[in-house]
Amino acid sequence: MSRRKVGILISGRGSNMQALLDACAAPDYPAEIALVAANRADAAGLERARDAGIATQVVPHRDFPDRQSFEVALDAALRDADAELVCNAGFMRILTPWFVERWHDRQLNIHPSLLPAFPGLHTHERALAAGVRFTGCTVHFVRAEMDAGPIVAQAAVPVLAGDDADRLAARVLAAEHRIYPLALRLVAEGRARVADERVLIDGPACGEAALLNPTD
């Protein structure tokens, strides 16, 4: 089986990165991690990646005079690693249209809400303030507009009585760790494809369709 090479972009602890690393450890998983790149040298996820034997690279955004030159260096690091797909996993930089176009329909992001609801920051506080009964997470292809782009997969999470932002965030994060590997599998297998800015999925969702709307 040919495995698609993936570059992961992080800025912090890399918990979603770890979920992808764990998934890629399975011999039947259709992707492998070629590089973990961070824009911060103190990103805790770098040590996690090194412990797993994954190549890492720091591309400090503050070392560059502008966003474009930073992204040129980041793009070069990914291409030097022969990455075919890119996964943002807590990457806290807004990418320019130049970079987004370079990886068009090959870059995924995960966001802690059921997009298009609650894009941006403070998603859990906003969900609680809005009084929604369900929230969740979304894996989508990256577009120039923040937290927009064709949706690959979503997981719904109930909002429970007595929830605060931290409790809700922990429940959503657990769903993120389940759904990101599923979404990457669908893309790496070529089963998730974009048509008219919507994602079409060929065949069953890996026998794990419940992950798209889990009841637990």
CATH number for position 52: 3.40.50.170
Please tell me whether residues 60 and 141 are part of one structural domain: no
How far is residue 21's CA from residue 2's CA, in Å, rounded to a whole number?
17
| Structural domain ending residue among the three candidates 71, 103, 135 | 103
pLDDT digits (tens, 9 = 90+) for 18-62: 999 999 999 999 999 999 999 999 999 999 999 999 999 999 999
C-beta of residue 107 within 8 angstroms of C-beta of residue 27 = no
Q: Indicate whether 164 and 199 sit together in one domain.
A: yes
Give the whole-angstrom CA distance, residue 63 versus residue 60: 6
Closest CA to 131 of 153, 157, 160, 109: 160
Rg (the chain; Cα; Å):
17
Same-domain pairing of 83 and 115: no
**Token pair 């026998």 in the structure block, residue:** 207
The confidence score (pLDDT) of residue 53 equals 97
Cα–Cα distance measured from residue 148 to residue 68, given in angstroms and rounded to the nearest whole number: 21
Measuring CA to CA, which residue among 84, 80, 76, 34 is closest to residue 59?
A: 76
Q: Which residues are catalytic?
A: 111
Q: Are both 97 and 123 inside the same structural domain? A: no
Whether residue 99 sits in one domain with residue 5: yes
Q: How many domains does the chain have?
A: 2
Residue pair 168/128 in contact (Cβ under 8 Å)? The answer is: yes
Of 68, 103, 138, which closes a domain? 103
Which residue range is the domain that position 118 belongs to? 110-216
pLDDT value at residue 204: 67
Contact between 67 and 96 (Cβ < 8 Å):
yes
Which residue stretches of the chain have pLDDT < 50? Answer: 207, 209-210, 214-216
Residue indicated by tokens 């329909």: 105
What global pTM score does this model have? Answer: 0.94
Distance, in Å, from the CA atom of 129 to the CA atom of 209, rounded to the nearest integer, reads 30
Q: Please check whether residues 94 and 134 belong to one and the same domain.
A: no
**Confidence (pLDDT) at 203:** 81
